[in-house]
Structure 1
Amino acid sequence: MTMTTSNPLLKPVYIFGPVRFDFWTAMTLLVIAVLFVLLILPIASVFFVSFLDEDTGAFTLANYVEVFTRNYYVKGLRNTLTVGLLGTLGACLIGVPLAFFTARFRIRGKALISTLAILVLVAPPFIGAYAWIMMLGANGFITNFFKGLGLNLPTIYGAHGIILVFTLKFFPFVFLMTKTALGSVNKSFEDAAENLGCNALQRFFHVTLPLVFPAVSTGAIICFVLSIADFGTPAILGRGFRTLSTIAYSAYTSELGGKPTMAVTVSLVMMAISILALFIQRRFLSKRRYASALTNRPVIQQLKGWRNWGAHAFCYAVVITAMFPTLVVVYTSILETNGPVFTGEYGLSSYRRVLLDAPEAIFNSFRFSLIAVAVIAVFSGLISYLIVRRENAVSGTIDVLMMVPYLVPGVVMAIGFVTTFRSGWYDLTGTGLIIVMILFIRRLPYGVRSTTTNLRQIKPSLEEAAVNLGASPLRAFVSVTVPLILPGLIVGSLMSFITAINELSSTLILYNSKTVTMPVKIYISVLDGEFGLAAALSTILLVCSGLCVYAVFLLADDRESSFV
């Protein structure tokens, strides 16, 4: 018995009897093997260790009982949900109005607003946390300014500071998704509500917002998942306010040499929260119908008077406030320092210190990220082809697995890599290879999604024609398909590079003195009070991310969608 197909690219694969492998069957097996080793196995090992007794190695549920009963962990869980939910709420409260104003009204500089929002998105969140310390820390310049006026402002440390950073860091997800959805709403629904006597506010809450709720909720879910998984921000601003990510890291460092049972248990609770949030959102959306005809789209309106000024003020206030920490970092990097103290003069001493004290961090960041991205580019093309052109149960499973790295926090994945690859002849801990591996698997979905979107727009008849003319499936793929999907591959690779070079949570667990990266060095410098060195390294990271964003703008058909 065989499975037949009219597509000459898809050779028959025997289900019963002799098995004949073609190129794409071999690639399918290769992709499955890679995902099993680098994704399924580490997560499974974390799951397995969480049920082991740290001392005896016997099966137990005591670890989970302790997490949900001991006040230390319960408080961490409550803190995580608090900053995650409130940070997400804050992102929605500024992201949705910003999207509405820029999508429905004539706002001068819309492209600039979107660009600044995207730059906020690609900057690592822990840099924002560090910048807010420079502004509102115990000795921040804003804090000192108000002290001079006799006013004592609360410092940035604690839950309120973490929520502020999450709000201003992640609102672009809500903004970009909602803006795209608002442009597709059928204006007839809003016109009907207006004819029935609804004012502008009522139309927005009863008609427009429900129609774009899938986009808003998806952006909110991304904000929530990233907030509860974020390590750098609560680690820098927490000052005793512990979240599950910082607790998992502390547990891991205290359990070095033994089984990281509590660290992985806490990590799995984080992952379970992310999956549960996604399930609730999908469940809620499945009960309602949100589709509408893509006709009679809204007309851009011109506001007048104070409404026009108010809309412009709100839009620019949001993006400038969100960008301000980045500007502070860049400004701080050109201030002269005397050890850890700023002298108030201008100079490049911080950059000289980078060249003297942290050249290996820069070299490692670029080396690890570029190697990982090169492999991502290859596998993105292969996986995208399997998902789009070979639609079956296996390719569908691979497509689903591409969602997993989005949901698994970096701390969870890193601990999984340690438990999987630290024994026997394949002990990879402390090597550059293990960092490349984790950057590859965590950032692979960016390349796959971008390339898959591009490939779906290409008719398979072009590849079929090449095969009919005698080309092998491999040659048809390399000669025909790859050139056509090259823009998607490049955009996906650039997005993978931006996120890989800024990775902190996983590399902080896996690095040693020889494999330190720029984000790790920045984190250590902030904890040591070396703000000048941290600012210079942060600026280098920001410039690299900005150049990649500019490249995406040049190559992507829809630059905003490429980042979401």
Structure 2
Amino acid sequence: MVKRLLNSLNNIWSFVILFAFLIVGLLLILPLYNIFVSSFIDNETGSFTLQNYIDIIGKGYYRKAIYNSIFVGFSSMFGALLIGIPLAFFTTRFKIRGKSVISTLAILALVSPPFIGAYAWITMLGSNGWLRHGFESIGIPMPTIYGPLGMIIVFSLKLYPFVYLLTSGALSNINSSLEDAAESLGYPPFSKFIHVTLPLILPAISTGALLAFVLSLADFGTPSIIGRDFRVLSTVAYNLFTSEMGGNPGLASTVSILLILVSLIFVYMQRIIIRNKDFGSDMLNPPEIKKLTRLTTIPVHFLCYFIVFLSSMPSLVVIYNSFRKTSGPVFQSGFGLDSYRRVINDVPDAIFNSFLFSVSAVILIVLCGTLIGYVVARKPSILTGSLDSMLMIPYIVPGVVLGLGFIVSFNSKPIVLTGTAIIIILVIFIRRLPYSVRSSVSILKQINIGIEEAAASLGAGPAKTFVKITLPLMLPGVFAGAMMAFITAINELSSSIILYVGGTVTMPVRIYLSVLDGEFGTAASLSTILLVATGIAVYTIIRLTDSDERVFL
């Protein structure tokens, strides 16, 4: 059957499909398979056992971590919904001054690393935080940023842009005739929203909620930095594997399987919510953008700008702190470039490695993602459909889990990669490959296939048609996908924290270690370099896509 399917395609694209399956099989399926197998292996005897699962389910320590992870995931999801839905409603249905500024700041909050936000909130509301001391000096007690509350705050302010961008797109495409009909039937505004508008935008909201839940569940940096004794699955898996008392790969693999399982259950729940429901509407009449009344103008504008300012505040604080003089974890009076000098003198390898690994991974991502995106969009079959589905897996697999999978898979012959730069480049490559594939598929949907058919009718072969005709038309989408892959690659922490050795330290890893060591000046200067690189990439994407916010999803 497979042979018949391949024979129906041109030879060059058959090779691309086979090569794509080889890449996905080796770098994604094999590590996950080995994690699954390792979860049934006894750490001491190497024999088959169910004891790892019995320990995870039976011991309160691990049950508490499961509960904590789900609690933080759902709380962060609801926080993102409470912030993102009102912001989307106000900016799409009313004339808001500076809407483009709001969208840009929301996007910057989305692409900035969550562990930088966690570090920034420590400098504001930690034990020595200036904001905490400021409020307490006037008699206002502030809650600690450490623990579950701090994690939920960081995740909510980091992940609400997913809800905002998706919901904004859905609200902008609703047929206003449906809402007008409800209004003519006497529905008050709130009832109209609940009974008419909300069902139409439910797929977008549920997708945003799914992303917020899965990403908060998978994150390692934030709970590790501000969670303290509040254990979650990602930090438990990391600690089990790297314990100074001797790692336990079997238990770490079992926790990793649970992480994936929880994510899959939530994905299934999201699909149940929107399954067998008709959410479609022809946009015959686009929604009217109304003018705010005098009474609502100030509070609505204040709310919108307060939200994006609050989510941007960590980045602003980090940049500000990078120019302050420090002594360990204590910021002193005065400003200077001392932190940047220390970074350049002490950890230049972290900066070099981050750019080297990211650019190397992005080159591979663009080369492979463009070709895979083409066969997925232009050569529909069971094979390409399966390939497209498999490339969704990296979205729900935590970086810690994939990092563990790479160590288990490539720590012995015939392929030994642990301790090398190659293993970090490859894990970044497979984690971020879907960005390039999706952007290529999206741009190809906008290109008339008749152009390629015309070239073929004139005698041009598949390769020549692709290089001379299709690829130049795809370039905006290809570059946008490359920039999005670069943004996530250079900020990668979850997998690299598992895989790094002394010579392969990256900026995110060094920032994480600096925060744990109380070197806040070093952390701030490295974070600022990351934020500047991220900001340049975001600006490039906005210019390439004509401010199309959907590319960031």
TM range (shorter): over 0.9
Q: Is the 8 A contact 2:328 2:520 kept in 1?
A: no
Q: Is the 8 A contact 2:240 2:247 kept in 1?
A: no
The one of 367, 389, 404 aligned to 1:378 = 367
Structure 1, residues 407-462: CA drift from partner, whole Å, max 9, x if none? 10101100000000000242110100000000000000011101110011112222
Q: Which residue of 1 aligns with 2:453?
A: 464
* 2:333 alignment partner, SS class: strand
* Closer, same or farther: CA 2–377 of 1 in aligned 2, 3 Å: closer
Q: Which residue of 2 aligns with 1:230?
A: 219
* Closer, same or farther: CA 154–349 of 1 in aligned 2, 3 Å: same
Alignment of 1:304-383 (within 5 A): 304-383=293-372
Q: Is the 8 A contact 2:221 2:512 kept in 1?
A: yes
Shift of 1:13: 4.7
* 2:325 alignment partner, SS class: strand
Shift of 1:472: 2.5
Tell whether 2:126 aligns with 1:125: no
Q: Is the 8 A contact 1:49 1:259 kept in 2?
A: no
**Counterpart Cα distance in 2 of 1:469 and 1:186:** 44
The one of 168, 186, 202 aligned to 1:197 = 186
Tell whether 2:378 aligns with 1:389: yes
**Counterpart Cα distance in 1 of 2:189 and 2:453:** 53
Q: Which residue of 1 aligns with 2:522?
A: 533
Kindly provide the amino acid, as one letter, of the partner of residue 28 in structure 1.
I
Q: Is the 8 A contact 1:373 1:496 kept in 2?
A: yes
Shift of 1:341: 3.1
Tell whether 2:160 aligns with 1:171: yes
Q: Which residue of 1 aligns with 2:202?
A: 213
Alignment of 1:132-531 (within 5 A): 132-254=121-243, 260-531=249-520
Q: Which residue of 2 aligns with 1:9?
A: none
Shift of 1:256: 8.8
**Counterpart Cα distance in 1 of 2:239 and 2:126:** 24
**Counterpart Cα distance in 2 of 1:30 and 1:506:** 24
Q: Is the 8 A contact 1:54 1:258 kept in 2?
A: no
**Counterpart Cα distance in 1 of 2:437 and 2:367:** 10
Tell whether 2:89 aligns with 1:100: yes
**Counterpart Cα distance in 2 of 1:352 and 1:71:** 47
The one of 83, 98, 110 aligned to 2:72 = 83
Q: Size of the alignment, in residue pairs?
A: 553
**Counterpart Cα distance in 2 of 1:460 and 1:152:** 63
Q: Is the 8 A contact 2:174 2:281 kept in 1?
A: yes
* Closer, same or farther: CA 387–158 of 1 in aligned 2, 3 Å: same
**Counterpart Cα distance in 2 of 1:256 and 1:556:** 51
Alignment of 1:38-77 (within 5 A): 38-77=27-66
Q: Is the 8 A contact 2:124 2:131 kept in 1?
A: yes
* Closer, same or farther: CA 193–467 of 1 in aligned 2, 3 Å: closer
Structure 1, residues 506-547: CA drift from partner, whole Å, max 9, x if none? 000000110000000000000000000000000000000000
* Closer, same or farther: CA 357–284 of 1 in aligned 2, 3 Å: same
Shift of 1:14: 3.9
**Counterpart Cα distance in 1 of 2:274 and 2:137:** 52
* 2:128 alignment partner, SS class: coil
Shift of 1:176: 0.4
* Closer, same or farther: CA 195–461 of 1 in aligned 2, 3 Å: closer
The one of 538, 543, 553 aligned to 1:549 = 538
Deviates more, 1:417-426 or 1:510-519: 417-426
Shift of 1:558: 4.9
**Counterpart Cα distance in 2 of 1:344 and 1:441:** 45
Kindly provide the amino acid, as one letter, of the partner of residue 264 in structure 1.
S
Kindly provide the amino acid, as one letter, of the partner of residue 314 in structure 1.
L
**Counterpart Cα distance in 2 of 1:80 and 1:460:** 46
Shift of 1:402: 1.3
Q: Is the 8 A contact 1:353 1:533 kept in 2?
A: yes
Q: Is the 8 A contact 1:113 1:319 kept in 2?
A: yes
Q: Which residue of 2 aligns with 1:563?
A: 552
Q: Is the 8 A contact 1:503 1:519 kept in 2?
A: yes
Kindly provide the amino acid, as one letter, of the partner of residue 540 in structure 2.
A
Q: Which residue of 1 aligns with 2:104?
A: 115
Structure 1, residues 205-232: CA drift from partner, whole Å, max 9, x if none? 2211121011001000000000000111
* Closer, same or farther: CA 173–2 of 1 in aligned 2, 3 Å: closer
Unaligned 5+ runs, structure 1: 5-11
**Counterpart Cα distance in 1 of 2:231 and 2:537:** 34
Root-mean-square deviation over aligned CA pairs: 1.7
* Closer, same or farther: CA 64–111 of 1 in aligned 2, 3 Å: same
For normalisation by structure 2, the TM-score amounts to 0.97
**Counterpart Cα distance in 2 of 1:157 and 1:13:** 55
Shift of 1:343: 1.8
Q: Is the 8 A contact 1:100 1:179 kept in 2?
A: yes
Shift of 1:469: 2.8
* Closer, same or farther: CA 258–2 of 1 in aligned 2, 3 Å: closer
Q: Is the 8 A contact 2:233 2:255 kept in 1?
A: yes
Shift of 1:64: 1.4
**Counterpart Cα distance in 2 of 1:25 and 1:295:** 42
**Counterpart Cα distance in 2 of 1:121 and 1:239:** 24
* 1:396 alignment partner, SS class: helix
Kindly provide the amino acid, as one letter, of the partner of residue 206 in structure 1.
H
Structure 1, residues 165-201: CA drift from partner, whole Å, max 9, x if none? 0110000000000000001111122112212222111
**Counterpart Cα distance in 2 of 1:258 and 1:81:** 25
Q: Is the 8 A contact 2:240 2:248 kept in 1?
A: no
